[in-house]
Amino acid sequence: MKVQRRNLLKTFASGTVAGVGILGVPAIARSQEIVKWKMQSLWDGGTTPQKFEEMFVKRIAELTDSKFQIQLYSAGQLVPANQAFDAVRGGAFQMMKTFDGYEAGKIPGLAFTSTVPFGFPEPDQYEAWFYEKDGLALAREAYSPAGLYYVAPTVYGPEPIHSRVPIKSLADMKNKKGRFVGLASTVMSALGVSVTTLATSEVYSALDKGVIDFADRGDLTANLEAGLAEVAKYIIMPGPHQPTTATSYIANRAAYEKLSAPHKAALAATAREVSGALRQHILVADTQALKTFQSKGVEVTALSEDELAQGRVQAMKAWESATNGNPLAKKMMDSQIAFMKDLGLLS
């Protein structure tokens, strides 16, 4: 049943992109005036995910007969990464690619639109919550008071935990020091981890010096390129803190509302197309990265299904805490829990 559901979702997704993106958009876009936007990405120039943002803006131009042009900038090129939220909100530029968990302190609901620790184990399940349940509408409702518009997620697979010590169970994490961000920091803290929210750039040094015992940092390929094989000889993959991941395209709401219907359709279709493309690329790249880590003497393990099921039940209390009593955040959490029950992940 799970396999059939997964295949059905993939078929529906690809069909939607083809129908809207390829056939519908260009014909109606030809009469539109040229619109020029600026977008700052979450990624550094030359990195793999940045190349998919390049694909995103190129595809937008293709689908609109070059009537909608987005100038792409890498992380920090327009403003420091931690200022992008306010810059887009204020209209300094029109769009950003971000990880919603960074802003969960301001908007509690965004804890549930970035990653759900011990949550959906498959990215298709998480993406289905956005597109087949009420995830998109709830994400847009969360961003709206800030003058921002949630366009769409980019959903991909798990990220690893890199550790200086072997971890075979959740108990092995207790009373150790770990680097996590967003909802993961709340959940891992509830499991007894002494959590710190170091910047990504500080993870290598912190592991090397023993300031932390293990860390979430990024995807396997990025972490390999960052040299984590030199400072952490153990990998837990998939990392229970981030079984699936979502980054997001966020636009200035006033700028978005001025777009024509074809331009809005191009954004939606392309975002979903790139989401699938990046996910498939990471699936292949992770296989190669794991082999390289192992060749460098890194041991790769995974928590058992029983451990993950146990952790999911424990994590629910931390999910509740992360809502901070916010009605919309609780509505998001309840929606995800209901879907997890439908999928047989929770009883």
For residue range 235-285, list pLDDT tens digits in order. 999 999 999 999 999 999 999 999 999 999 999 999 999 999 999 999 999
Q: Which two tokens stand for residue 260?
A: 């024509």
* Residue 302 reports pLDDT greater than 70: yes
Closest by alpha carbon to 29, among 244, 298, 242, 269? Answer: 269
Q: What is the mean pLDDT of residues 90-119?
A: 93
- pLDDT for 86 equals 97
Q: Kind of pairing, strands 214-216 and 161-163?
A: antiparallel
The chain-wide mean pLDDT, for the chain, equals 90
- Which residues are paired to 72 by β-bridges? 39
User: What CA–CA distance (Å, rounded) separates 296 from 274?
Assistant: 32
- pLDDT for 32 equals 57
Q: Helix and strand tally (H, E) in the chain?
A: 13, 11
Cβ-based neighbour number of residue 7 at 10 Å: 11
16-42 tens-digit pLDDT: 444 444 444 444 444 558 999 999 999
Q: What is the mean pLDDT of residues 324-335?
A: 96
Give the distance, in angstroms, between the CA of residue 220 and the centroid of all CA atoms in the same chain. 14
Q: Quick check: helix, strand or coil at residue 78?
A: coil
Cβ pair 266, 63 in contact under 8 A: yes
153-207 tens-digit pLDDT: 999 989 999 999 999 999 999 999 999 987 888 899 999 999 998 888 899 999 9
Cβ-based neighbour number of residue 55 at 10 Å: 15
Which residue did the predictor score with more confidence, 115 or 72?
Answer: 72
- Which residues are paired to 36 by β-bridges? 69
- pLDDT for 75 equals 92
Q: Which two tokens stand for residue 166?
A: 């072997």
> Could you tell me the pTM of the whole model?
0.84
56-65 tens-digit pLDDT: 999 999 999 9
- pLDDT for 30 equals 46
Stated as kind and residue range, the H or E segment containing 207 is helix 203-209
Question: Which domains does the chain carry?
Answer: 2-155+244-285 (3.40.190.170), 161-242+291-331 (3.40.190.170)
Closest by alpha carbon to 89, among 151, 149, 153? Answer: 149
